[in-house]
Chains A and B, each alone.
Chain A
Amino acid sequence: MPAVRADKLYKVFGKRADQAVELLSDGRPRDQLRELNVTAAVIDVSFEVDAGEIFVVMGLSGSGKSTLIRMLNGLLEPTAGTVEINGTDITTLPSNELRRLRSRHISMVFQHFALFPHRTVLDNAAYGLEVRGVPRAERREKARYALDLVGLEGWEDHVPEQLSGGMKQRVGLARALTADTEIILMDEAFSALDPLIRRDMQSQLLQLQARLGKTIVFITHDLNEAMRLGDRICMLRDGRVAQIGTAEEILNAPANEYVAQFIEDVDRSRVLRASSVMEPPTAVLGPAHDPRAALRTMRDNQTSSAFVVGSDQTFVGVVRDGAIGEAGRTGATDLTGLVDPGVERVHPDTTVAELFHRSAVTPHPLPVVDDAGHLVGVIPWTALLAALASGDGAGSGISAGSPPARAEAGAGATQRPVESEEGAR
């Protein structure tokens, strides 16, 4: 059961809203509704958000994001369609149950913070529990805990006006955390902050999320923010869904021209991860390999080093041709003593930006090793450059999880497979 489910949601403002929904569901664009004198803010939006996921809704100003998020907690009633929270259809709930649902299950963080100026930071944070009727001492203790979580200990007795923008929004976050709901809605929560502070807040949100595992619906008009935070992203255009997918899916396979244009200026190095730019490892040897045969494999693959894996692909290390040359003189019969196990290795989730400086200090392609210690791919320098060269080439890598055996097409570790370059188009 998804935590949040929207099914064919419509929100049309105006008297003849129902008529407009009919026309819109027949595919009429929203700017051709002028004669009805209505504003169609959200049109036929469906998605599911799983528990523990950060789901980002991304779109330009006026694309209906705020309207959409306000239908998720019942602040706005949909014109058509349903919203389910933990399996309950909230569009049919009476208003007192809706309020109960909001106070127990869904809290919200606002673009302009919406802190109560006449309450202290502590009482602001405790607001959700106050509404719920939790005794003063208990709610204050929980609020204090949440304020500590967001790094505001010592500010409890100040008033919001005494805080900077970033601190105010941390109070907003603490207010949502104190309410102790499993779902948090964040409407452009970081948009009003300076870029540097915004990055801080994003990092802090990700850290908190790793600890708390909330279900977060995050709204933004900033694609970089969307890609950084979102497990999945829903791109809205003029009230309709343009594409839903992970950051990499959207970057690598934009669903239409609009999305493609949008992702042009994304800082791809911070979005793309090792798993989507890595290539299948070539020149892979077992530890029992004969050194001279190893040397031949390297020559065939036009490289000066080979990756050594144990049984079931467990990464052991790298062996270089120089080491084997010396071994020839000492008469070693396998690679065990020649492997360098201390080489740099990277995780599949490492961002390309980080891969750059790691790659710069490594003479051979970077081995990508997953949590289980398996060698899942390698990243040569050229793959990094190609990944950033926007659009057409970005889909070349193998996707995370696919076995490294899909290697025949590669002519060599330093050359990119031709076949998948076409596949990206």
Chain B
Amino acid sequence: MSAYGSGYAIDIPRLPVGAMFESVINWLRNNLAALFDIIGDVIDSSVAALSGFLTDPSAAQLTLIACLVIAIGLIRRGQLRLVGVLVAAYLALVLLEALTGAVTVVISSLPGALFIWAMNLFGAAYVYPPLVLVLLLLAALLVTSAVRTASRHQWILAAGVTGAWLLLLIGVYIVGVQFELFAVLIFASLAWFIAGWRLAVFTVLGFLLVISMERWAEAMSTLALVLVATGVAVVFAIPIGVIAAYSDRVSMLLKPVLDFMQTMPAFVYLIPAIAFFGVGQVPGVIATVVFAMPPGVRLTELGIRQVDKELVEAGEAFGAPDIQVLRGIQLPLALATIMAGINQVIMLSLSMVVIAGMVGAGGLGNVVYSGIARADIVLGFEGGIAVVIVAIFLDRLTAAVPRFSPAARAKRMALG
């Protein structure tokens, strides 16, 4: 009853906004359960695989990474076709092995002496066929580097990567050093290559601090969650941004939707996400994707719209189809802006980590949340510091990526 009198209050009907939302959610859950299960499984297994790889990779995975680096070097030196053939052959063999076990048969038919020494050296109980296959790929790439390119850089790259890979295997499997320390070195060299020595130094010190706080596994789990969420967000954000850049109408419709996504308190996403996927990493990733995607869309649209109209027209005037204009002119020239968007997506994802920890997403979020729940200052603060270290590492790293775009390279050339 109003304090100012009675009888004249205007009756405003109660609109069941929340209830309507809930019924939509229920309907979706009842009718599309299978779809959500699939999405949930895919996200769950990718986060688990990535986080497993970051904390405790297998020898085959490490070899694959070495192959990747060498292959990128080869592709940049114009060997795309050959690398494609090798990778295709490798994938075919992997598929063959998975379906028929043919590789296992071949391996067991070979003389045992070929493998015994290595099994003894690494203390392995049996020969693992995928490792054999990826070793073959590595050998093929090394031969290609030596034979097909006259570039000294490629030789140095191949030799360096192979040497580092051997050291890593020996260090981890023979000497028995923990993988964390090598991981710090790998992250630091990535930081050095992409952003320079300052970030490399920061990476070494920061990640060693994380190890010493005994939060390495959680940090890697958080990193995996952020990377998967960012990956999903980017996969949606860039095409949507491109469409919005091409169509004023889509852009107009999108604007309020993006505003809504970004201003809705992030906690709210957790409720339907749990309804769909239960507790765990998946609702964390989903809520993070929804919350973090908008800047990716916005900056992609902005970046493409900013490209000089005359350049797009030049592409069209020489008969380039839209897709070629997009790929060859608009995306490369918008790359710096798009990367700024991705950088923001990553930062927003990290800010969601703690919130996601509330629904059992694990990782550093869980640590911080436990700290809050138990009023444990030590736990909360250390978890927070680890989040900050991961955040700075990712931020500086992604901020430096546009340096590698063709546009930035051209600008550097122009400066002399």
Interface residues of A (CB under 8 A from B): 73, 75, 96, 99-104, 106-108, 110-112, 114, 116-120, 127-128, 131-132, 158-162, 175, 179, 185
Contacts and interface: CB of A to CB of B under 8 A. Distances in A.
B406 A119 contact: yes
Interface stretch (B120-128, B254-262, B315-323): B315-323
Interface string B313-348: 111111111001000010011000000000000000
B311 interface: yes
B407 A118 contact: yes
Nearest to A124: B314
B85 interface: no
Given A102-B319, A103-B320, A118-B332, 15 more contacts: A102-B316, A103-B319, A104-B319, A107-B318, A110-B313, A114-B308, A114-B313, A117-B410, A118-B407, A119-B410, A128-B318, A131-B320, A161-B413, A161-B414, A175-B318
Nearest to B410: A159
A75 B314 CA distance: 10
Given A114-B310, A116-B311, A118-B405, A108 B413 contact: no
Nearest to B320: A131
Contacts of B310: 110-112, 114
B411 interface: yes
B317 A107 contact: yes
Nearest to A179: B318
Nearest to A159: B410
Interface string B387-416: 000000000000000000111011101100
A131 B318 contact: yes
Contact of B324 (A75, A117, A131, A179): A131
Nearest to B317: A108
Interface in B110-169: none
A118 B414 CA distance: 11
Contacts of B413: 158-159, 161-162
A117 B318 contact: no
A175 B409 CA distance: 22
19 contacts: A73-B317, A75-B316, A100-B319, A107-B318, A108-B314, A108-B318, A111-B310, A112-B310, A114-B310, A116-B329, A117-B407, A118-B406, A127-B315, A127-B318, A128-B318, A131-B320, A132-B319, A159-B410, A160-B410
Interface of B: 308, 310-311, 313-321, 324, 329, 332-333, 405-407, 409-411, 413-414
B318 A102 contact: yes
The 9 A-B pairs with the shortest beta carbon distances in the complex, nearest first, are: A103-B319, A161-B414, A118-B406, A114-B314, A102-B319, A159-B410, A108-B317, A114-B310, A118-B407
Contacts of B406: 118-119
A366 to B, nearest CB: 46
A369 to B, nearest CB: 45
A137 B313 CA distance: 26
B311 A114 contact: yes
Given A117-B333, A118-B332, A161 B314 contact: no
Contact of A159 (B315, B319, B405, B414): B414
Contacts of B313: 75, 110, 114
A120 B406 CA distance: 10
B407 A99 contact: no
Contacts of B311: 114, 116
B319 A99 contact: yes
Residue among B311, B314, B316, B333 with max Cβ neighbours from chain A (10 Å): B314
B332 to A, nearest CB: 5
Contacts of A96: 321
B411 A161 contact: yes
Given A114-B311, A116-B311, A131 B319 contact: yes
A185 B316 CA distance: 13
Residue among A96, A127, A175 with max Cβ neighbours from chain B (10 Å): A127
Contacts of A73: 317
Nearest to A107: B318
Contacts of A112: 310
B82 to A, nearest CB: 16
A127 B324 CA distance: 11
